[in-house]
Amino acid sequence: MGALDGRVAIITGAGRGVGREHALLFAKEGASVVVNDLGAANDGSGSDVGPAQQVANEIIAAGGQAVANTDDVSSTEGAQAMIDQAVSEFGDLNILVNNAGILRDRMLVNMSDADWDDIMRVTLRGHFAPTRAAAQYWRTTSKERGITPANIVNTSSTSGLFGNVGQTNYGAAKSGLGSFTHIAQMELERYGVTVNAIAPSARTRLTMSVPGAAEAEEERLKTVDVTEWDPRGPENIAPFVAWLATADCPSKGRTYFVQGGAVYLFQPWAIVDKIEKEGLWTVEELKEAAPKFADYKFNLNLPY
């Protein structure tokens, strides 16, 4: 008996990296999987039907149920086509894992409009378009047959939540997904949908493209025995995502950092200090009262 028996899942960007591992585990746990992947390069350019089809073939060869989809997650038509394909192939849709992502790292002073816009398109629109299409489907089904559990898992990044030099575009989009997750949960609860987000950390094509990362990984693999378990392997992220995708998962609107065998819970934006006056502040008064904000020490509980 699998944890996702009989459920239908779409996983975007599932042709490679962490999404591929989600797809393989979801199928092993009994889900029928729409394996979406445009087959793009790290920077989002190009397309290739190969990765999505290969993962679907792998699932089918192992006795599971899967179909490939090569739509662009940021396109309204592509997002709708994904949902339609899940319903026409497998009769329903219960889970959407928004995972597709790209990088365009540049220092802010050198960032082009295209570097900014493409990241926003694939990251934010690429979460929004499939989520809207899935939510519209669940709104309809909740009216037709009553509420049945559905789950959305979004993919953020510590680059956004903690910040990372060279990634104002990617980081802004990824931290935006924290708010997107929180607000989508508020809106979709009435249709029986849970919406959570993870920030993964693992060795993939994307992370190995960061300057120096491939060399550091090569060195690490010389010193660490990974025959039993590799803490940097992309397969480590999938079990927690599968749990977030179970029909009775109690987690709602939360964001987690998942790395190796560790899962960390983020707290949302929270107020930690205040100043107040009964009336209009003068700038002079604020010069006295407000500097304590600049000195406030946040406890980020950074795990690295």
Run of H or E including 212: none
Q: Is 191 a catalytic residue?
A: no
- In the region spanning residues 22 to 41, those forming contacts with ligand NAD, defined by CB under 6 A, are 36-40
Question: Is residue 72 close enough to count as binding ligand NAD by CB under 6 A?
Answer: yes
Question: Is residue 207 close enough to count as binding ligand NAD by CB under 6 A?
Answer: yes
Measuring CA to CA, which residue among 95, 93, 148, 155 is closest to residue 124? 155
Six-digit token pair at 224? Answer: 């660490």
Least separation in angstroms between CB 24 and ligand NAD? 13
Question: Is residue 236 close enough to count as binding ligand NAD by CB under 6 A?
Answer: no
Question: Is residue 77 close enough to count as binding ligand NAD by CB under 6 A?
Answer: no
* CA–CA–CA angle 254, 124, 205 (5° rounding): 90
How far CA 63 is from CA of 55, 57, 199, in Å, comes to 13, 10, 30
Question: Is residue 16 close enough to count as binding ligand NAD by CB under 6 A?
Answer: yes
Residues 110-149: x where in contact with ligand NAD by CB under 6 A, - otherwise, as a string = ------------x---x-----------------------
SS (H, E, C) 108-168: HHHCCHHHHHHHHHHHHHHHHHHHHHHHHHHHHHHHHHCCCCEEEEEECCHHHHCCCCCCH
Question: Is residue 206 close enough to count as binding ligand NAD by CB under 6 A?
Answer: yes
Judge contact between 206 and 42, C-beta under 8 A: yes
Question: Is residue 171 close enough to count as binding ligand NAD by CB under 6 A?
Answer: no
Question: Is residue 44 close enough to count as binding ligand NAD by CB under 6 A?
Answer: yes
- In the region spanning residues 175 to 204, those forming contacts with ligand NAD, defined by CB under 6 A, are 199-202, 204
Least separation in angstroms between CB 187 and ligand NAD? 22
Least separation in angstroms between CB 3 and ligand NAD? 22
- Nearest-10 Cα torsion for 226, 229, 230, 235: 140
Residues that bind ligand NAD (CB under 6 A): 12-13, 15-19, 36-40, 42, 44, 51, 72-74, 99-102, 122, 126, 155, 157, 199-202, 204-207
Give catalytic residue positions.
170
